Amino acid sequence: HLPYFSLSNAFARPGLTPRYSHYVKSVNNSPESRPAILKVAVNVPLSRAFDYLPPAGCPAPQPGCRVRVPFGARRQVGVVLGHADASDLAPGRIRRCSEVLDDEPLLRPADLGLIRFTSDYYHHPIGEVVAAALPALLRQGKPLHPVVETVFATALAASMDAEALATRAPKQAELLETLRDAGGNGMEADELTALLPNWRRAATGLFAKGLIERGEARAADFDESLVPAGTPGPELNKEQQAACDRLRDSKGFAAFLIEGVTGSGKTEVYLRHMQDVIETGRQVLVLVPEIGLTPQLVSRLRKRLGIEPALLHSGLTDTQRLAAWRAARAGAARLVVGTRSAIFTPLQNAGLIIVDEEHDPSFKQQEGLRYSARDLAIVRAKRLDIPVVLGTATPTLEMIQHCRAGKYQHLVLPHRAGGARPPHIRLIDTGRTPATDGISEPLAAAIRRHLEAGGQTLIFLNRRGFAPTLICSGCGHVAGCERCDSRLTVHARRQQLRCHHCGHVRPLDERCSECGEAVRPLGEGTERLEDALRARFSGRRITRVDSDSMQRKGAMSDALDEAREGSADILVGTQMLSKGHHFPQLSLVGIVNADQGLFGTDFRSAERMAQSIVQVAGRAGRADRAGEVLIQTAFPDHPFWSTLIDGGYQRVAAEALAERETTRWPPFTRLALLRSAAHRHADAHAFLELARRAVEARADDSLRVLGPVDAPMARRAGRYRAQLLLQSANRGALHDALRELRPLLEQDPAARRVRWSIDVDPIELF
Ligand code: ADP
Ligand code: ZN
């Protein structure tokens, strides 16, 4: 039993699902007539708001204010969603808030409206949606403008001889130097932690010597004027100008898909329009897949617009993140750039939302609140009556279909800007010319040719580690994960076997655990490719880019700088290398082992594979060099290849869309996936059986229920996993079913034995 079940403010009646929209209606802003019962969202996995009274003698805080409330035996931070004049609870049982945390609403009605929509659409508890929308410090109940610990160098430090300290205590010297450079106000403790993770140890000695002191200060505000004035961009070509004109002529809500081959100047088009919007005094929100991977976009925005963007991503300290959030909310930041969760950032005066690389799967959160930031961007723009611009070279079929249906406007940039030519794509048949350690002779020859001509090469393989499999040469036994139905990946640099699904790590076996014979790595990952390339091209500079090699903070931007300046001859890496980077020297892209997606079981396999190939191919020949793309495949006759090579992404997309229409997959139907995981196989299935029966008892035949079946990886991290798919051509029918289902599942005793989730518009089915 969840502990707060019996202790909390009672429950909604079974089957009664709260619809948050009705709270809005009951809000009344005139203080005299304000009803006294507060509907509060609390961060717990229950699909309802909770009733509280204001603290004794306090007026009711407005919707959007945070309150501290007793919840079970604990205290929790909650957000007031609205007021009501009646409660299901007996008057004496309604508890009081212990504290009102905000004088004015943190979240305004429009922000609360988006949160409610998200909760309703994704069938996710409102309290958890509110929590996802708030920066960590606010979630914890800290003030909007917190006072933070600071550390600064004292006057004594100014006159001291740093050289002597450097030899005796280098860590102390480093810290002191940093603080002396920071000046009189010193630095925030968080910021120091990000810079020198173990500074507190070094600080002890410096405090004792009176060289540094601790203080407190209001956390620094975001300052957008840190950069020089913007610089003008190139003159737009005809197609870019046409796209800009369409954007400028739109009024109110409109969704635009800018489909342009890589290098066609999409970013230039956004930049122009952003500039226009910012000049009218309105804010622009830009969503990007991963800021760490795209530092180039951020620096380009900064340089061109002459505005320091307020950044919202996981690489910041909590205080910095809050400062950016505060500036966005107050309207002090004109340009807000963030990853997925930035879609919830309050904006004082929003004028435009941009979603860059719309096709990128990282816009969809795959755990907890499973939302698509791309889809919410469209919803939010509509609610605010402003335009939203989605850009990509490889649009998702969902967006293409919306354009065909006339709901979104399709702006196409078919040519590369500035005269760069499209890359030439060719296949290498690994049946005829086998690959050794991942590299075939024709690919090796091409690399040599491009290197000699002064060009850079990128070798793409979406598999990190040394080899995906460790096999016994005696009995054929394959090293597997004890907790998952998966193989362990060989990581040679660290002499480890690792499970990429549950994180399990163990030392690399030297002998087979079954028969004692020698083992060998089978297949290749990026580490092995790196070694093979070093052996073949000794003397050349080779940089590997994957999540293993890029763990150090700043490693990615260093690697990108190197790549851009041309000081790396060969780049080898995973999809981290394919995202929006611009490498002027790059002339050859080699795609190794491209076959993983050809026979994929997911209905999105072809779409995904074409996206990933076209994205990485687009890195070749972006400036004045013609690009060449070589793809190694064991199945050169597979029709996918001729479609892609002759017709490009657009033909692959058109064919896939036609097939989806015939087979009734999205975007022609809507899906929701129920997942469950349990220590016992039977529990995982029994829970979904229950869900299936509940849905079938009420649904009409517009709703198809498929399963429950084992998940493709039936056991992961020690839990058995199962799934149930709901499908309908009618979005309303699907959502009605989920709306009825969710509270039933929350209250069913079987739910206590499983972890379960609802995934609306899932992007991974298998
Ligand atoms: P995309 O976002 O479509 O990949 P970018 O906007 O990054 O394309 O443009 C690719 C390259 O072409 C950049 O170096 C950019 O400065 C340049 N570029 C864009 N538009 C033009 C133009 N009209 N004339 C000349 N160069 C351009
Ligand atoms: Zn595992």
User: Tens of pLDDT along 540-585?
Assistant: 999 999 999 988 878 888 888 888 887 899 999 998 888 777 888 8
- DSSP lists the bridge partners of residue 626 as none
Residue 350 scores a pLDDT above 50: yes
Contact in structure between 632 and 479 (CB atoms under 8 Å): no
**pLDDT score recorded for residue 332:** 95
Predicted local distance difference test score (pLDDT) of residue 649: 94
Nearest alpha carbon to residue 264 among 97, 392, 427, 424: 392
Check pocket membership of 264 for ligand 1, CB cut-off 6 A: yes
pLDDT, averaged across the chain: 90
Distance 410 CA to ligand 1 centre (A): 19
Ligand 1 centroid – CA 303 distance (Å): 15
Q: How remote is the CA of residue 471 from the centroid of ligand 2, in Å?
A: 17
Q: Which residue has the higher pLDDT, 601 or 75?
A: 75
Residue 23 has pLDDT above 70, yes or no: no
Hey, which of 217-226, 433-442, 544-553 has the most confident mean pLDDT? 433-442
Q: How far is the CA of 614 from the centre of ligand 1 (A)?
A: 18
Sequence-distant (≥ 6) Cβ neighbours of residue 368 within 8 angstroms: 128, 132
* Helix, coil or strand: residue 150: strand
How many A from CA of 484 to the centre of ligand 2?
4
Whether residue 17 has pLDDT greater than 60: no
Closest ligand to 420 CA?
1
Q: Which atom of ligand 1 is nearest to the CA of 270?
A: 6
pLDDT at 304 over 80: yes
User: Which ligand sits closest to the CA of 301?
Assistant: 1
Ligand nearest to the CA of 393: 1
**Is the pLDDT reported for residue 22 higher than 70?**
no
- Does residue 262's CB lie within 6 angstroms of at least one atom of ligand 1? yes
Contacts of 447 (CB under 8 A, 6+ apart): 457, 459, 533, 536, 537, 570, 588, 590
Ligand nearest to the CA of 719: 2
CA Rg value for the chain: 28
Residue-level pLDDT at 599: 85
Q: Decide: 296 in ligand 1 pocket, CB within 6 A.
A: no
Is the pLDDT at 489 greater than 60, yes or no? yes
To which residue do tokens 């739109």 refer? 250
- 228 or 388, which is more confident: 388
**Which residue has the CA at smallest separation from atom 25 of ligand 1?**
418
For 437-534, where are the E strands, in sequence order? 439-440, 456-460, 469-472, 489-491, 496-498, 505-507, 519-522
Peptide bond connecting 762 to the previous residue in cis, omega within 30 degrees of 0: no
Of 265, 237, 571, 243, the closest CA to residue 393 belongs to 265
What is the tally of helices (H) and strands (E) in the chain? 23, 32
Ligand 1 nearest atom to the CA of residue 233, by list position: 16
CA of 649 to the centre of ligand 2 (A): 35
- Rounded distance from Cα 208 to ligand 1 centre (Å): 56
Evaluate if residue 14 carries a pLDDT over 80.
Answer: no
* Confidence class for position 318, pLDDT limits 50, 70, 90: very high
- For residues 223 and 333, is the Cβ–Cβ distance under 8 A? no
Name the residue at shortest CA distance from atom 19 of ligand 1: 265
**Alpha helices for 9-140 (secondary structure H):** 21-25, 109-122, 126-133, 136-139
User: Which ligand sits closest to the CA of 489?
Assistant: 2
Asked which of 43-57, 213-227, 253-267, 694-708 is least confident by mean pLDDT, the reply is 213-227
Q: What is the per-residue pLDDT across 520-530, written as a single tens digit (0 to 9) for each? A: 999 999 999 99
* Ligand 1 atom with least separation from CA of 271: 6
Q: Closest Cα to residue 419, out of 301, 265, 268, 245?
A: 265
Which pLDDT value is given to residue 35? 54
- Tell me the average pLDDT across 494-516: 94
Query: Is the minimum distance from the CB of 64 to ligand 1 under 6 angstroms?
Result: no
The ligand with the least distance to the CA atom of 716 is 2
Ligand 1 lined by 51 (C-beta under 6 Å)? no
CA of residue 462 to ligand 2 center, whole Å: 19
Angle between helices 605-617 and 639-663 (to 10 degrees): 140
Residue 468 CB coordination number (10 Å): 20
In the chain, pLDDT over 70 holds for what percent of residues?
A: 94
Mutational pocket test of ligand 1: of 268, 288, 582, the residue with most ligand atoms within 8 Å of the beta carbon: 268
Q: Is 293 helix (H, G, I), strand (E, B) or coil?
A: helix
- The band of 293, judged by pLDDT with boundaries at 50, 70 and 90, is low
What's residue 274's pLDDT?
Answer: 96
Least confident span in 208-217, 379-388, 683-692:
208-217
138-151 pLDDT, tens digit each: 999 999 998 889 99
Residue 13 pLDDT > 50, yes or no?
A: no
Of all protein residues, whose CA lies closest to atom 15 belonging to ligand 1? 265
Q: What is the mean pLDDT of residues 585-610?
A: 89
Instruction: Provide the b/e sequence for 118-149 (b: ≥16 CB within 10 Å).
Output: bbbbbbbbbbbbbbbbbbebbbeebebebebe
Q: What is the 143 CA–ligand 1 centroid distance (Å)?
A: 43
| Segment 153-209, tens digit of pLDDT | 988 887 777 777 888 888 888 898 889 888 878 898 988 888 888 899 989 988 998
265 lines ligand 1 (CB under 6 A): yes
Which atom of ligand 1 is the closest one to the Cα of 235? 23
Residue 55's identity, in one-letter code, is P
pLDDT tier for residue 408 given thresholds of 50, 70 and 90: very high
Q: Which residue is listed with tokens 């004292």?
A: 154
| pLDDT tier at 103, thresholds 50, 70, 90 | very high
More confident residue, 57 or 126: 126
Predicted pLDDT of residue 485: 95
Please check the confidence at residue 379 and state whether its pLDDT lies above 80. yes
Q: Could you tell me if the CB of 294 is within 6 A of ligand 1?
A: no
Q: Which ligand has its closest atom nearest to the C-alpha of 391?
A: 1
Ligand 1 centroid distance, CA of 588 (Å):
20
Which ligand 1 atom is nearest residue 262's CA? 4
Strands (E), 110-233: 147-153, 187-188, 212-218
The residue contributing the CA closest to ligand 1 atom 8 is 265
Report the distance separating Cα 527 and Cα 466, nearest Å. Answer: 5
Q: What DSSP designation does 264 have?
A: S
The 3-class SS string of 59-79 reads CCCCCCCEEEEEECCEEEEEE
Cα separation, 466 vs 548, in Å, equals: 11
Using the mean position of ligand 2's atoms as its centre, give its distance from the Cα of residue 482 in Å.
6
Ligand at shortest distance from the CA of 622? 1
Contact 273, 244 (CB under 8 A): yes
* Portion of the chain with pLDDT greater than 90, in percent: 70
- Residue 593's pLDDT is what? 85
- The C-alpha atoms of residue 310 and residue 84 are separated, in whole angstroms, by 37
462 in contact with ligand 1, CB cutoff 6 A = no
pLDDT at 26 over 70: no
pLDDT tens-digit series, residues 234-248: 999 999 999 999 999
Lowest mean pLDDT among 168-182, 470-484, 651-665: 168-182
Residue 151: phi, psi to the nearest 5? -135, 135
C-alpha 581 – ligand 1 centre gap (Å): 12
Band the pLDDT of 622: cuts 50, 70, 90. low
* Local confidence band at 29 (pLDDT 50, 70, 90 cut-offs): very low
Instruction: Give the span between the Cα atoms of 621 and 589, in whole angstroms.
Output: 9
| Cβ of residue 417 lying under 6 Å from some atom of ligand 1 | yes
Question: Is residue 230 scored above 90 in pLDDT?
Answer: no
Residue range 425-448: mean pLDDT, rounded: 95
Q: Tell me how far apart the alpha carbons of residues 493 and 490 are, in angstroms, rounded to a whole number.
A: 9
**C-alpha–C-alpha distance, residues 750 and 748, integer Å:** 5
Is pTM, for the whole model, over 0.95? no
pLDDT band at 625 (very low <50, low <70, confident <90, very high): low
The closest residue, in CA terms, to atom 9 on ligand 1 is 265
Handedness of CA 590, 593, 595, 597 (dihedral sign): negative
Q: What is the mean predicted confidence (pLDDT) over 453-475?
A: 94
Task: Look at residues 675, 666, 753 and name the one whose alpha carbon lies nearest to residue 399.
Answer: 666
> 267, 304, 585, 586: which to mutate for ligand 1, most atoms within 8 A of CB?
267
Q: How far is CA 477 from CA 361, 509, 521, 523, in A?
A: 35, 12, 12, 15
Going by CA atoms, what residue is nearest to atom 10 of ligand 1?
A: 263
- Preceding amide of 708 cis, omega within 30: yes
Work out the number of other CB atoms within 10 angstroms of the CB of residue 301: 24
